[in-house]
Amino acid sequence: MTPPTPLLGARTLDRETARTLPPGPRLPTLAQTVLFAGHRTTFFPRMRARYGDVFTIRLVPTSRVVVVLSRPDHIREVFGTPPSIVHAGEGNTALKPIMGQHSLLLVDDDDHVRMRRQLMPAFNGHALRGYAEMIARLARADVEGWPVGMPFRLHERMRDLTLEVILQVVFGVTDSDRLEQLRPLVDKVVSVRPIIMLGGFYPRLLKLPPWRTYLRVQQQVDEILYDEIARRRTDPELAERNDVLSKLLAAGTWTDVELRDQLVTLLLAGHETTATSLAWAFHELARKPDQLKAGQQAADDGDDTYLDAIGKESLRLHPVVYQVGRRLTETTELAGYRLPRGTTLMAAMGLVHGDEQNFPEVHEFRPERFLGDNPPAPGTWIPFGGGTRRCIGAGFSLLEATEILRAALTRYDVRATTPKPEPAKPRNVTLVPANGCTLIATRRVSPPGR
């Protein structure tokens, strides 16, 4: 295994090199870290307005140098640079105690190529079509239980539903007793707080609460996952099973630990993010009668194209993942700068999505921008990253959103409790509606086919 690339930071950055970096704020590292962690949607735009499309910030640990990129052509440079030079795994170090060292998000070079190749069969078009009815069945069962005629927090419902999709469609757990055992434990695992991620940089913290408490719960989940993996390996009907875990076992050669790390990665990367993007989609539809009506018509007609466009526009207007990180393994020319080895790069998708030059009427919710003959320019809609590290679950996430939108919009009208949009607030690594997407659902009058 290749030794990790040392972070470029206070201990390794000399003054001469510092003068060649893109400009940036001179605030203390801790202040910049707090602004990044809790206020990046205002911090980053202000830094771009002051310093330009490429700017430098410094974050804990070790006052590491982070170069932020906000132009599509610069981000394409990063995504197009050989992966041996821009390590994404090393850029995700904070996730190691949570996802495990074999996670697809944490490996680079040959290990990443091998694991991605083994994951692909579970996420190709044929496999996705096989998951559609399973997701639709879970979605229909959940939305039938929505409160009618009274305010409720839809984000909480979406979190419960997307968790159920992970447990049954990804993990393949359908036994009611096992599900009852898993749900509260997994809910604690996915509710990871940002402070827990510091354990990736400071391993000694893992022996202390709250890190120790979190790892104890994680260990309980691991015991169940390892038991499921063992059962699945000996299942005589493995080839006929239609869940992600079974397809991974059928298509690749995995150790139990590698499989566990991929399952936890799919759980953490696919649960909160999908739930949040759906909450934002309903948040917008509840305030946009024309788009709501168009979405209901599409759901009635089986028009997946418009439902897919709703999901895409939600991801554009409300980026769930605001940026992705990479670490340079050698000194490289990027975005007009000669950036030294160990520099952390951040491709700020949120800045790209919020740029009027890329999306006219940038603050308006308009699913129609993803339809017709004039779609967004290449490299301007990048919620799942890009290049060889593009999120392998992108298709699964969009499929899940389409099926859940269909299940809800064929049954309900939705309206907000107030016309004023809910502001975003940080929750773990995502930005969620501050009031949980509070809305009121009422039964549609004689919906078609019912």
Tell whether 450 is covered by a domain. Answer: no
- Average pLDDT score, the chain: 93
pLDDT reported for residue 446? 61
DSSP string for residues in 52-105: -SEEEEEETTTTEEEEEE-SHHHHHHHHHS-TTTEEHHHHTGGGHHHH-TT-TT
pLDDT reported for residue 149? 97
pLDDT reported for residue 218? 92
Q: Please name which of 331, 279, 350, 251 lies closest in space to residue 85, comparing C-alpha atoms.
A: 331
Report percent pLDDT > 90 for the chain: 81
Tell whether 162 is covered by a domain. Answer: yes
pLDDT reported for residue 240? 93
pLDDT reported for residue 1? 55
Tell whether 388 is covered by a domain. Answer: yes
Q: Could you tell me which residues are beta bridge partners of residue 424?
A: 433
Span of 47-56, 192-201, 254-263 with lowest mean pLDDT: 192-201
pLDDT reported for residue 120? 95
Give residue for tokens 């190709």: 124
* Residue 431: strand, helix, or coil: strand
pLDDT reported for residue 191? 82
**Local confidence band at 373 (pLDDT 50, 70, 90 cut-offs):** confident
Q: Give phi and psi for 209, each to the nearest 5.
A: -70, 145
pLDDT reported for residue 2? 65
Give residue for tokens 């911090």: 43
Model pLDDT for residues 102-148, shown as the tens digit of each residue: 999 999 999 999 999 999 999 999 999 999 999 999 999 999 999 99
How far apart are the C-alpha atoms of 150 and 155, rounded to whole Å? 15
pLDDT reported for residue 98? 85
**Residue 449 pLDDT > 70, yes or no?**
no
CA 67 to chain CA centroid, Å, is: 21
Tell whether 6 is covered by a domain. Answer: no
Task: Provide the CATH number for the domain around residue 108.
Answer: 1.10.630.10
Total domains, the chain: 1
Q: Give phi and psi for 443, each to the nearest 5.
A: -65, 135
Span of 65-69, 103-107, 188-192, 320-324 with lowest mean pLDDT: 188-192
Span of 90-99, 296-305, 313-322, 414-423 with lowest mean pLDDT: 90-99
Mean pLDDT of 413-425: 94
How far apart are the C-alpha atoms of 109 and 102, rounded to whole Å? 12
Tell whether 10 is covered by a domain. Answer: no
pLDDT reported for residue 252? 83
Give residue for tokens 């070079």: 109
| Tokens encoding 106 | 């944490």
* CA 447 vs CA 147, 297, 371, 408, 413: distances in Å: 18, 10, 25, 12, 10
Tell whether 188 is covered by a domain. Answer: yes
**Local confidence band at 174 (pLDDT 50, 70, 90 cut-offs):** very high
Tell whether 268 is covered by a domain. Answer: yes
Tell whether 448 is covered by a domain. Answer: no
* Residue 280: strand, helix, or coil: helix
**Residue 448 pLDDT > 60, yes or no?**
no
Q: Which domain holds residue 345?
A: 15-443
**Residue 274 pLDDT > 70, yes or no?**
yes
Model pLDDT for residues 65-96, shown as the tens digit of each residue: 999 999 999 999 999 999 999 999 998 887 88
